[in-house]
Structure 1
Amino acid sequence: MKALLLCLAMAWALCGCGTVNTVLSSDAHASSALRKAQTRCESLPRVYSGIAYDLCLLHGPPQLVERDPAAPALMPLQLLDFIPSGILDTVVLPYTIYLQSTQGSLDI
């Protein structure tokens, strides 16, 4: 039972991870999510894209409670996402360097 809860907690935590949203998802999904959050970012580098994704979310306007009732409560989780994003970005660094050299930055 503890293993199941741990797996569910890990899956839930990775759903919001910047690296998962940029490397494992499509480019259209990542750019759509950043446009929806009304960030002021124009492009996203593929190298360390999870960290850049998180910074773009923090650079946008504060999420209003009217649009997302859990918005103020999620701010600490966005800040905590820098740790797993940094680790995962480092793990996938060879792949993202290749993507950056062949496809360039992700336009938002």
Structure 2
Amino acid sequence: MKRFPIGILEFLTWTIALTGLFFFARVEGPHAGLCPIANLGLTWCPGCGLGRSIHLFLRGDFLASWEMHPMGSFAVLVIVWRQFELLYLIKKQLKSWQTY
């Protein structure tokens, strides 16, 4: 019996997340955040600005992305690398199905 390819749900999740960050992230002005550290009133959080940094990186504004959060570009590279790994895994599983 053939099973749903492992990894396809994760691949779709990362694709939707990056697409959402590309189109819907707000860089300027107030934004609603879910960060518990920022909501407690602290001024510095190690993760704040990461989503906006990814948005700027995906839009090609690399300097502003780096200034917003230095790990934004690294996060995009890791996510894209993971997507290629998942595509390889899915392709390998689909190829093994053809042998049945």
| Higher RCO by CA contacts (8 Å cutoff, separation 6 or greater) | 1
Bigger share in helix: 1
Alignment TM-score, normalising by the size of structure 2? 0.30
Who wins on radius of gyration, i.e. which is larger? 2
TM-score (norm 1): 0.29
